[in-house]
Structure 1
Amino acid sequence: MTTAKQLPSPAMEQALRQSDLPDISNLVRNYAEYISTTRQLTVHTVRNYVNDLAPLVQFLAEKEVEKLSAVDRLFLRSYLAWLISSGFSRSSISRKLSALKSFFQFLRYSGVIELDHTELMTAPKKKKKLPAIASSYEIDRLLEEPDTNSDPGIRDRAILELLYGAGLRVSEAYAIDISDTDLTTREVRVIGKGSKPRIALFGESASKWIDNYLKNVRPKFASRQSDAALWMNRSGGRLTTRSIQRIVKKYALAAGLDHNFHTHSLRHSFATHLLDGGADLRVVQDLLGHSSPATTQIYTHVSAEQSRSVYLGAHPRANKSTSSVKSAKQNSQKSNAPS
C-alpha cells in the first residue's frame, strides 16, 4: 500500500508550500491512498498520478484560489491554456488532465466539492504517429537473412514470409494450428482482435516456404504427432509470441533495418505496399481484419508521404521555384539581345 511518507514528490511538495488552499496537502495524500486501495494501483503509478497534479497545485497558488469549489469551467480552460503555453507535450497534457479528472472525482466522492466541472474536459488530440514501414527492397533483404540450410532458418523464413505475406499480427501468427492453413488455396484462418475469426490470404512465396517447413522441419521439432501448433520450437512446444518477436528483431537488425522495426512493422509494410500497388482501401481493411476503415486510414497517410517523397525526388520540375524560372527567362533574353 502507498503511504503518506512515499508521497508526494519534491515537485509536489514545492507546489503545496506555495498554495493557500487549506488541507490541500492532506487531500493529495488522501487521494493517493484512495487510488492505491480502491483501484489497486502500484506505488509507481500512484506516484505518477500525484506528480501530474503538481502543475495544478502550482496554478491554483498562482491564481490565489482559496477554495476548490471555486474551480469552474473558466478556471479549467485557463489551466489548459497555461499547460499548453508552458510547453508541455500533448501526451503530457493528456496525462495531467487524466489525473485532474481522477482527483476531482475523488473530491466529489469525499464531499469536498458538490460539482465536478472536469467531467466535460477534453485533452488536445494527440498527433497520430505514422507506423514504421520498410520498402519492398528492405523486405527482400529481411527475408533473405535466415540461413535456409538449417532447420530453424527454414522455419524462420516461413514465419517472416507469412507475417509479411498475410499482414498478420504476432498474436494471430502464434495461435495458428496446422488445420488452419490451406496451402492449395493459400488461405489461413486466424483469430483477430476481439476473438473475431477471419480468413487471411498469402502468396506463392509464403506457401512454398511453409510447405518446406511442414515437410522437412516441423516433423523433427514435434514431440507429439497430435500437437496442433503450426509454429514449433526445437523442444516440441508451440513457439511463443515473444520468440516470434525475437526472431523478427534478430533478422531486422542483421538486415540493417531501423532499430524500431518489429513484428507489427511487417503488417504496416504489408498494408502500405498494397495501397502503393493500387489496392482499394476497403480491401486492405478486410485483409487486415479492421472493423472500421478509420483504423486503416493511417496507411493512406504513409502512402501519401511516400508519394510526395518520390515525386519531389523524381519529377524534374518538383523543386524548381518561380524565381529560378524567371532567372532562366532573363538569362535567355540577355543571350538573345543584339550585340
Structure 2
Amino acid sequence: MDVIAQLPLWTAWLRASERSETTVRLREYHVRRYLNGLPAETDPLDLEWLVSYLANPRWKAATRRSARASLHIWTTWLHRTGRILSDPLALIPPARAPRSVPRPCPDPIIRKALLAADTRLRAMITLAAEAGLRRGEIATVSRSDVIEEQAGSSLIVHGKGRRERTVPLTAATSDAVQRQFMRVSPELPWLFPSKGQYADTHVQPIRVGELINEALPGRWSAHTLRHRFATEAYRNSHDLLLVQTLMGHSKPETTAIYVGLDTAQARTVVDGISLVA
C-alpha cells in the first residue's frame, strides 16, 4: 500500500475531527518529513525505522514528543481504518513529559540574539519574549489580528483549542511586527507567509521554533522565551490570574509552572533566616 497516497485522506480525517488547521499542518509536516527522509524501497511502517527516526539524538524532548504524537496518530488511523493489520507504534511506551522548573531565558541572551536577527526573526523573538506567544500562535499572526488602540497596539492571539485572547504589545514588539509586515506583500494576510510547500498559508509552527532555537545558544529555546514573559509579567503584577489570561492557559496551575523564581526576593527571604547575625 502506498501510504503517501493516503495522506490527503488522513488530513481530511483530522479536519473532520475538528482539529485546528495549525494542528493539521503540523501533524502532516511531521509525517511527510519522516517519509521523505526514508531510503528508497524502505517500508515506512517498519518498527526499527520508526524507532531510529524518533531516537534522533539531536532532538529535544518536546520535539520528540510532538513528532511521536503525529506519527502515532497517523499509524493508529491506518490501523483502525483497516489499511494495516497492526499499529507498529503501539509497541513503544508513551513518552513521559518531564516535570521541570521554569527556565526563563535571561535578558542578555535575548538582546544578543536580537542584535544578530533579521527583521523576520526579530519579530518572532519579541512576540515570544514580550508577548508570551507559543510558536503556533506566532506562525498564525495576520494583519487583521493587530488592533490599534489609544494606549498602543494589541494583538488578537489564536491559541490552543481555538481559544482567542487579546495581548497588549510593547512598543518594541509593535515596531518589530510593523517592520515585518512592510516586508510582506500587501496581498498576503500573514505576518510570516510560508515559502515552501504551503506557499498559500503561513509558516509552519515547527519552523518558527527552529528559527528561534537556532538564534539562541545552548539549552535556551523558543519556549524559554515564553517562560521569560510569564516570569516578568508575574513579577510586575503579582496577579497570577492576569498572567494566566495573557498566557492563554485554562488553569492557573499551568501558569504557575511557567513562572520562574524571583531570585532577588528569595535571597532576601533566605538571608533573613540566617543564623549568622
Q: Do the structures match in fold with TM over 0.5?
A: yes
Taking the aligned partners of 1:240 and 1:175, their CA distance within structure 2 comes to 9
Q: Identity of counterpart residues, as a percentage?
A: 21
Aligned to 1:135: 106
Q: Which of 114, 117, 132 is the aligned partner of 1:167?
A: 132
* Residues 42/187 of structure 1: CA separation in 2 closer, same or farther (3 Å cut): same
- What pairs up with 1:190-201 in 2 under 5 angstroms? 190-201=157-168
| Cα drift, residue 37 of structure 1 | 6.7
Asked if the contact 2:195/2:203 (under 8 Å) is kept, the reply is no
SS, match of residue 231 in structure 1:
coil
Aligned to 1:242: 206
* Residues 307/197 of structure 1: CA separation in 2 closer, same or farther (3 Å cut): same
| Cα drift, residue 127 of structure 1 | 7.5
Taking the aligned partners of 2:92 and 2:181, their CA distance within structure 1 comes to 51
Aligned to 2:188: 227
- What pairs up with 1:82-97 in 2 under 5 angstroms? none
Structure 2 gap ranges (5+): 1-47, 49-77
* Residues 42/159 of structure 1: CA separation in 2 closer, same or farther (3 Å cut): same
Taking the aligned partners of 2:140 and 2:267, their CA distance within structure 1 comes to 38
Specify which structure has the bigger relative contact order, considering alpha-carbon pairs within 8 angstroms and separated by 6 or more residues.
2
* Residues 187/48 of structure 1: CA separation in 2 closer, same or farther (3 Å cut): closer
- What pairs up with 1:76-87 in 2 under 5 angstroms? none
- What pairs up with 1:313-324 in 2 under 5 angstroms? 321-322=275-276
Q: Tell whether 2:177 aligns with 1:218.
A: no
Aligned to 2:119: 154
* Residues 168/310 of structure 1: CA separation in 2 closer, same or farther (3 Å cut): farther
How many residues align structurally?
192
Off by >6 Å, runs of 4+ in structure 1: 36-41
Deviation readout 1:85-141 (Å, 9 max, x if unpaired): xxxxxx6xxxxxxxxxxxxxxxxxxxxxxxxxxxxxxxxxx9831132212233222
Asked if the contact 1:183/1:211 (under 8 Å) is kept, the reply is no
Taking the aligned partners of 1:240 and 1:135, their CA distance within structure 2 comes to 26
Taking the aligned partners of 2:112 and 2:144, their CA distance within structure 1 comes to 30
| Cα drift, residue 213 of structure 1 | 2.0
Scaled by the length of structure 1, the TM-score of the pair is 0.49
Which segment drifts farther, 131-140 or 262-271?
131-140
Taking the aligned partners of 1:156 and 1:141, their CA distance within structure 2 comes to 13
Aligned to 1:308: 266
Taking the aligned partners of 2:101 and 2:110, their CA distance within structure 1 comes to 18
SS, match of residue 167 in structure 1:
coil
| Cα drift, residue 293 of structure 1 | 1.5
Taking the aligned partners of 1:213 and 1:299, their CA distance within structure 2 comes to 28
Aligned to 2:143: 178
RMSD: 3.2
- What pairs up with 1:62-73 in 2 under 5 angstroms? none
Deviation readout 1:264-320 (Å, 9 max, x if unpaired): 2111110011122344111111111112212112244x22566435766xx5x77x5
| Cα drift, residue 196 of structure 1 | 0.9
SS, match of residue 130 in structure 2:
helix
- What pairs up with 1:116-127 in 2 under 5 angstroms? none
Report the AA paired with residue 209 of structure 1. Answer: A
* Residues 157/47 of structure 1: CA separation in 2 closer, same or farther (3 Å cut): closer
Asked if the contact 1:192/1:198 (under 8 Å) is kept, the reply is yes
Taking the aligned partners of 1:183 and 1:155, their CA distance within structure 2 comes to 21
SS, match of residue 216 in structure 2:
helix
* Residues 268/261 of structure 1: CA separation in 2 closer, same or farther (3 Å cut): same
| Cα drift, residue 161 of structure 1 | 1.2
Taking the aligned partners of 1:163 and 1:128, their CA distance within structure 2 comes to 22
